[in-house]
Chains A and B, each alone.
Chain A
């Protein structure tokens, strides 16, 4: 056994709580993020375009009702969350390649704290963007029929979906060595599921095989829950579960999205800790 430096008698003060280092790391990440405005604004552009321009145009062209605009407005949140979390994941690669990640790895803090610090900021930025999208949609005249309970369902679905998608982004960032490789995989993770998950039309309109596949996508459950919460619309939940009780279906979908968040967070922490040893 090698000994480097003589033993010291007074035991060093090590953080007993993970909260203090997580707060420091989150503050650091937020300071880096605000110095990179693209991380705040770019993910917002496409969903806002969808909600404010494309949805009204589709309504006119397809002669649908105002409800379709509301349907699309919620659907665009299903694009905003993956895009934003994927951008946040990109900053992990930047940190590794040209930032202070190794300094953080040498710090006397548990490795999960590094993931949770980034997650906290990704979560806050996504929340800000969702709020901005909804405010813009309301300003455009799009109508949401939300009760206090409905808002709770919406917030729970948005939160769990955001956490799960950030877990996917962090996992991918830990697995791929280069930013180019990361970006090449973003469409498969962030955009393809969005098209299949009931964002622009109900999944019942899909061919039967894809409709079954869509039932297993977390985004399908998240969007159905968000529409249930913000619009009082149960069609999405019914397309997944086929039950009579909206509450039961909502709880089941929330369990799915929560399990997705828990699983991807656990995987991301594990993969990050392993990648730190490389």
Chain B
């Protein structure tokens, strides 16, 4: 379970951190905070011997949905998530994608103000993953619910999020829109694959005035914000040190680059 979601289910007086969730202090009002939120867990968290309907009912009752509203609420959600053919079968008979749909439906039965999605697409095959991203995107567009998505797949974050926070060692090291975060590195990057010591190559780019403190290396790949310098110029600077340049391209910056920059080591310093 990822840190933010672990925090979400551990609300109570024993939590040392301080946070408000839709106005409720999670340490002093844990039940109210949990009441207005739901969690979609990374792993399978269902009662497999029970039917899908029973799983939804248990959630509705525990989250305090009035008893007379439960049947109607379930009808709506079963229709919205096309679960009609599955809902009265034991969950143990569901495929991975069907179970995921049920879990999302369950999280929404209580009409939460905040929905935590804890790495929801981990372990899913590509088709189910794309379908699930569509479901989340529709949720995001249709409702005023706040969705907090934790993921290592930054294309998901870019596609689904208004605001992205990058965490390193349990701390937020940057946050903002996808555009804001990318702008910090610049729109264009130089990407070089080198044979030899990447630290030394990065240092040579720094000496040539091509790489700044925001340049970094991941394995044998150097990532350098372009800033009006071209790939050929960078290739020449690295080659002048005797290192072999396997490839050098200029391309658009992605959130993956930003993530690697914010969470990796600064090899310019190391060099």
Contacts and interface: CB of A to CB of B under 8 A. Distances in A.
Interface of A: 1-8, 11-15, 20-21, 24-25, 28, 31-32, 35-36, 98-111, 273-274, 276-277
Contacts, number: 118
B35 interface: yes
B9 to A, nearest CB: 4
Contacts of B64: 12-15, 108
Contacts of B47: 28, 32, 99-100
B41 A108 contact: no
Given A100-B55, A106-B9, A106-B34, A31 B50 contact: yes
B35 A99 contact: no
B136 interface: no
B54 A31 contact: yes
Interface in B22-44: 22-23, 31-32, 34-39, 41, 44
Nearest to A95: B47
A122 B33 CA distance: 31
B122 interface: no
Given A7-B22, A99-B48, A14 B58 contact: no
B143 interface: no
Contacts of A107: 34, 59, 62-63
Interface residues of B, number: 41
Nearest to B172: A2
Interface in B44-87: 44-50, 54-55, 58-59, 61-64
Contacts of B12: 111, 273
A4 B35 contact: no
Given A32-B49, A98-B48, A276-B10, A7 B35 contact: no
18 contacts: A1-B18, A1-B19, A1-B20, A3-B21, A4-B19, A7-B22, A8-B113, A28-B47, A32-B49, A99-B45, A105-B10, A106-B34, A107-B62, A108-B34, A108-B35, A276-B9, A277-B10, A277-B14
Given A4-B22, A36-B49, 19 more contacts: A4-B20, A4-B146, A7-B22, A12-B32, A12-B35, A13-B35, A15-B64, A32-B47, A32-B50, A35-B49, A99-B47, A99-B48, A100-B45, A100-B47, A102-B45, A105-B10, A106-B8, A108-B32, A273-B12
